[in-house]
Amino acid sequence: MPESSHIVFFDTTLRDGEQSPGCTMHPAEKLRMAHQLAALGVDVLEAGFAIASKGDSDSIREIAREVRGPRITSLARCKREDIEAAAKAVEPAGSSRIHVFLASSDLHLEAKLRITRTQALEQVAESVKLARSYTEDVEFSTEDGTRSDPDFLVKMIAIAVQAGASTINIPDTVGYTTPAEYTALFRMVRERVAGSEDVIYSTHCHDDLGMAVANSLAGIEGGARQVECTINGIGERAGNAALEEIAAALMVRRDKFPYTNHIVMTELYPTSQMLSELISFGCSPNKAVVGANAFAHESGIHQHGMLANPLTYEIMTPESVGANATNLVLGKHSGRRVLEQRLSELGYPLTRDQLDTVYHRFTELADRKKLIYDQDLLGLFVHDKAPTLTH
């Protein structure tokens, strides 16, 4: 079977993202967000962790009943009660998936689960088979996969594939790996696990070392064809790989990543904004792709380049991701040209001499005031030494 050129986007904003402090959403908010994620074009929507609470189970079931487009999934441990709860929650969906997981690292097996490797392999086989009895689409994740013994990891994945898992996720659960290591890991597993050609491998990266997106892209280079991510990168600890950053990277660097996907790029910014409204905080201003400063320029050198040709300092347009137009911010780093343009837009075209005088006063003001507004610019003209202008 030829290697697929399509990347599946698995969104876990409503599950892994919501587990982060400050990111809890009420059922109505989760449903609203789920509809927006469907509009964004995500392929798989992890709506929650059904066994966690009755509220979570009911919320998943409501999303499964009302949201069409994405495949709706619930997370489940390798336990019968988890899998049965997940199956019941996603039952109304047009298309569903059960996502089961078990730790593969010795650290997790010994310290957290207190089970042997043999017991872990038995649980994987039984649980995947049980999940497969409820749905034809079962995903299996090797928790802490990047810190696992490679030989044991291969053995666990092989058993999951034999039991009927059609998607295999190798998570970087604690954000430990590096891009080169993650690429090599996927290549190694795909070479050593029988039947890999019939399985979709998936990334799931956390940002503890700030490499979640880089690692996700590295996983694609290693043969992964599903990426698990969240809007604004929310999630446990430092967060998950940010969906909008992965999507933008695939768009801008199509020369390196010649793959298709279903993401509607112009919905990225609106989706980010909706999430910020629903949880207790927005993304950082300097957040890539969707941050307030992602398309803002204050430096005079950058502003001059932007006025000449936006491609000088922007590798994508704000419109391409659904954001507002480029913002040339006026501040102490701004040059004469952008000041001249803004004053002209306000109805004050200047001669060269007038611009020199006003620019001098502008820089003095900018040294004292962090934010410069239009009324501040107009105030430059009422100074007793300001040039006389005709409006």
* Domain positions in the chain: 8-278, 295-391
Q: Which of 47-56, 238-247, 270-279, 351-360 has the lowest mean pLDDT?
A: 351-360
Percentage with pLDDT > 70 across the chain: 90
Percentage with pLDDT > 90 across the chain: 71
- The closest of 206, 205, 240 to 224, measured between CA atoms, is 205
pLDDT at 307 over 70: no
d(CA 365, CA 356): 14
Q: Which of 55-59, 262-266, 325-329 has the lowest mean pLDDT?
A: 325-329
For residue 97 the two structure tokens come to: 């998936």
Scanning the chain, the segments in alpha helix (DSSP H) are: 27-40, 54-66, 80-90, 106-107, 117-134, 150-163, 179-192, 212-221, 243-252, 268-278, 300-308, 336-345, 352-368, 374-379
Residue 292 DSSP code? T
Contact by Cβ (8 Å): 180, 141: no
Is 8-278 a CATH 3.20.20.70 domain? yes
Q: Which of 288-292, 303-307, 348-352 has the lowest mean pLDDT?
A: 303-307
d(CA 150, CA 154): 6
**Chain-wide mean pLDDT for the chain?**
90
The pTM for the full model equals 0.85
Exposed, middle or buried, 208 (CB in 10 Å: 0-12/13-18/19+)?
middle
